[in-house]
């Protein structure tokens, strides 16, 4: 097994591994802003969703792969509606074991390079829990700007209500 992590777009063949990754992420971090029910889909349904994603010009899912294991992911989701198809919502997650190695930075830089090369994307948005200072500092380092806060925007069964920070970065094509 190689000890080098590679980044690449996800394919339908990644469906089972991606669901496994998302399940592990949901168990080990309180920072995901997703409903656990979203993760309980059949592998063939996930594969079909990945196929649709690959066919959309303004959506992408990058995976970080170590050997044959997925250890992180970064996703940009945008609407097909012409009025808002230029806005991509970012989600990034890395297995806890791989925190602190620059993998989140590498995934976000991959997203930014993709967005810069994509003629449709002109704005990237994300939401981060205020208590997730590692992620917040990473987003600031990569020039995402705070656009607002949502007090009590997320409820964690163990930590209670959390404040969410909304951030964005404009993409100007050269």
For 139, the 3-state DSSP assignment is helix
> Is residue 59 a contact partner of residue 53, using CB atoms and an 8 Å limit?
yes
Q: DSSP character for 157?
A: T
CA proximity to 89, closest of 121, 62, 57, 113: 121
Alpha-carbon separation of residue 123 from 78, 126, 146, 164 (angstroms): 10, 10, 13, 19
Q: How far is Cα 166 from Cα 127, in angstroms, rounded to an integer?
A: 5
CA proximity to 116, closest of 84, 88, 147: 88
Which CATH entry fits the domain spanning 5-170: 3.40.50.10470, 3.40.50.620, 3.40.630.30, 3.40.50.720? 3.40.630.30
Domains of the chain: which residue ranges?
Answer: 5-170
pTM: 0.88
The CA-CA-CA angle for residues 19, 23, 27, to 5°, reads 170
State residue 35's pLDDT score: 55
Residue with tokens 């992590």: 5
pLDDT (tens place) for every residue of the chain, 174 residues total: 457 899 999 988 888 888 888 888 888 876 765 655 555 677 777 777 878 877 889 999 999 999 889 999 999 999 999 999 999 999 999 999 998 899 999 999 999 999 999 999 999 999 999 999 999 999 999 999 999 999 999 998 889 999 999 999 999 976
State residue 31's pLDDT score: 72
Q: Where is 103: in which H helix or E strand?
A: helix 103-117
């Amino acid at each position: 097994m190689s000890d080098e992590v590679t980044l690449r777009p996800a394919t339908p063949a990644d469906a089972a591994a991606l669901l496994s990754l998302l399940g592990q992420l949901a168990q080990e971090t309180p920072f995901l802003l997703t409903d656990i029910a979203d993760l309980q889909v059949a592998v063939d349904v996930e594969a079909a969703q990945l196929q649709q994603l690959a066919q959309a010009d303004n959506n992408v899912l990058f995976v970080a792969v170590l050997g044959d294991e997925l250890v992180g992911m970064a996703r940009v989701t945008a609407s097909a509606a012409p009025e808002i198809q230029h806005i991509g919502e970012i989600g990034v997650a890395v297995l806890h074991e791989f925190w602190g190695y620059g993998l989140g930075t590498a995934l976000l830089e991959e997203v930014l390079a993709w967005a810069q090369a994509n003629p449709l994307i002109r704005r990237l948005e994300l939401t981060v829990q205020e208590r997730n200072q590692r992620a917040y500092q990473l987003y600031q380092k990569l020039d995402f700007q705070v656009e607002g806060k949502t007090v009590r925007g997320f409820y964690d069964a163990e930590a209670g209500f959390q404040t969410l920070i909304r951030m964005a970065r404009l993409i100007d094509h050269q």
